Amino acid sequence: MKCPFCGELENKVVDSRLKKDKTGIRRRRKCDACGGRFTTYEYVEDIPVVIVKKDGRREDFSRDKVRQGIQRACEKRNISMNVIEDYLDELERWLRENSEKEISSGIIGEKVMTKLHELDDVAYVRFASVYREFKDVNDFIAELRTLLNKECA
């Protein structure tokens, strides 16, 4: 680490601690040459996950965008924000642990639908109607039949 005062590369770490928000490490350093003290911060490099949309466009994963879709589906349902946030943490962790740099939006949509199906059937159907782009009432009824057949089996 280069000293900001004299430019020397040799220095020692005097103190290390987690940042208050626990997203990085704060290090106090002392230059061996001039004795100057300075602070550095260390963070994990965040590699963005790229989402490949249905039409071939690519965009960075947006937790907020997924949250908004789930919240719309769960409107006026008995699903707490804590449950939604916990699921978003789980989804993000899965995306980061997945070795793929690009992932299809279809995979994410299916994962969200699976979770909503576990939580609440109405929220699931609401999300599915937007995600699967139901064209008319027949598409909606077909999805409901599928849902009912799974529950009866």
List, for residues 23-66, the tens digit of each pLDDT value: 789 999 999 999 999 999 998 777 788 999 989 999 999 999 99
Cα atoms in the 13 Å half-sphere on the side-chain side of 115: 21
Q: Which long-range contacts (CB under 8 A, 24 or more apart) does 3-11 make?
A: 3/31, 3/33, 3/34, 3/36, 3/38, 4/36, 4/38, 5/31, 5/34, 5/36, 5/38, 6/31, 6/33, 6/34, 6/36, 8/32, 8/33, 8/34
- CA R_g for the chain: 24
Is the pLDDT confidence value at 9 over 80? yes
Give the per-residue pLDDT at 6: 95
- If one compares 135 and 107, the residue with the highest pLDDT of the two is 107
Q: Which two tokens stand for residue 117?
A: 């199906």
Q: Over pLDDT 90: what percentage of the chain?
A: 57
The type of residue at 53 is: K
The type of residue at 17 is: R
pLDDT band at residue 152 under the 50/70/90 scheme: low
What pLDDT, in 10s, does the model give residues 18-32? Answer: 887 777 899 999 999
In contact, 95 and 61? CB cutoff 8 Å: yes
Q: At what angle do helices 137-152 and 121-131 cross, to 10 degrees?
A: 140
Q: Over pLDDT 70: what percentage of the chain?
A: 95
Q: Terminal CA-to-CA distance of the chain, rounded, Å?
A: 64
Cα atoms in the 13 Å half-sphere on the side-chain side of 19: 12
Q: Say what the pTM is.
A: 0.64
Is the pLDDT confidence value at 153 over 70? no
